[in-house]
Structure 1
Amino acid sequence: MARKQLPHYTVPTLTPEDGATVAAILQDRLNSLTDLHLTLKHIHWNVVGPHFIAVHLMLDPQVDAVRAQADEVAERIATLGVSPVGTPGALVASRSWDDYSLGRAGAIEHLGALDRVYEGVISGHRKAAADTEELDTVTNDLLVGHLHDLELFQWFVRAHLESAGGELSTEGTSTEQDSAGAAEQGAKKAASR
């Protein structure tokens, strides 16, 4: 979690300590969302193969929505009296996850890896929502609203990875590379039927 800065002021009914706690939670989410929108754009530029255009076009609205979410989080941090940090160096220094690991690759491989990325972002957002539920209802509402869109976007991704029987080709994988490989194998298996 980001270092707590004690603000000189914060929103009414929160103490400066509570404002700093909420801002630190949000700074982690700002880092995650900033990383996500850059990752989505990276995939948009590097996706290839027969599903290229579908995935290429699906990602731009997600990029725009996630970028807007990052802006909302940064503005909430500022509203709490803390300075949001949006520099690349600070993001890299404070994040707890590795950089996205795929370059130029097939659409299904990227979607398999992206499923893992969304899983991490959504899990972090759900924890942040739980951590702010009693502390700050406005921040909690913001995060819950984001979860609606993030979970919808993951569903869009998973629809490409799901069999007609409802099985997810990436089930049981834990890394982007494993998920990419499992997604590719699942697509090959489905094509051979």
Structure 2
Amino acid sequence: MTTRTPIGTPLDESVRATVGAQLQGLMVDLIALGLHGKQLHWHVIGTSFKSVHEQLDVIIDDARTASDEVAERAITVGVPVDGRPAAVAKENTLPELPEGWVEDADAVERYADAVAAIVVKARTAVGELEAEPASQDLVIGVLQTFEKHLWMLQAQLQG
């Protein structure tokens, strides 16, 4: 493994370090969100199984796309990322999931909590990335996507 930075960028080193830290944290949480979603997708049971099962796939696809875009943005500004399983397991901040079967309403609530954690992380990153508008813009898009998913999950819990 090389320690040199093969990707040049005009960004100040302190800005690049901030960008790297914010994007790394968001990336590992997005990877974990995709994994959590699949765990629930495979194990959800109940009368709303089909709709929850399908909704989870949509959010999982968005989490996977967003994690890739966030990682590639970090690489673009010359910051390596760590998306290895051990790093994701160690660094992610999402709430833990139970093993095995999960009732549909519980699955929605648990995934809403995980998506809410992404929203909080993205909102924090938006504020921290003011000095680097391109990265900030990317994170704003992630925030918008997952706020919409959070709304849709929370709406299912009403009633």
Aligned partners of 1:151, 1:122: CA distance in 2, in Å? 6
Q: 1:136 to 1:10 in 2, by over 3 A?
A: farther
Cα pair 2:73 2:135 within 8 Å, conserved:
yes
- 1:49 counterpart = 2:46: yes
Amino acid at match of 2:81: P
Displacement of 1:110 in angstroms is 0.8
Aligned partners of 1:73, 1:115: CA distance in 2, in Å? 21
Task: Tell me how large the CA RMSD over aligned residues is.
Answer: 1.8
Aligned match for 2:82, one of 73, 82, 85: 85
Q: 1:32 to 1:6 in 2, by over 3 A?
A: farther
- 1:110 counterpart = 2:113: no
Corresponding residue of 1:147: 143
CA radius of gyration, larger in:
1
Task: Show CA shifts across 1:70-96 (max 9, x none).
Answer: 000110111111211110101222234
- Number of corresponding residues: 157
Corresponding residue of 2:66: 69
Q: Unaligned 5+ residue runs, structure 1? A: 164-193
Displacement of 1:6 in angstroms is 8.8
Cα pair 1:62 1:153 within 8 Å, conserved:
yes
| Structure with larger RCO (C-alpha < 8 A, sep 6+) | 2
Aligned partners of 2:122, 2:37: CA distance in 1, in Å? 17
TM-score, normalised relative to structure 1: 0.75
TM-score, normalised relative to structure 2: 0.90
Corresponding residue of 1:60: 57
Higher helix proportion (structure 1 or 2) = 2
Q: Unaligned 5+ residue runs, structure 2? A: none
Aligned partners of 2:112, 2:90: CA distance in 1, in Å? 24
Aligned match for 1:127, one of 124, 127, 146: 124
Corresponding residue of 2:9: 11
Displacement of 1:16 in angstroms is 2.3
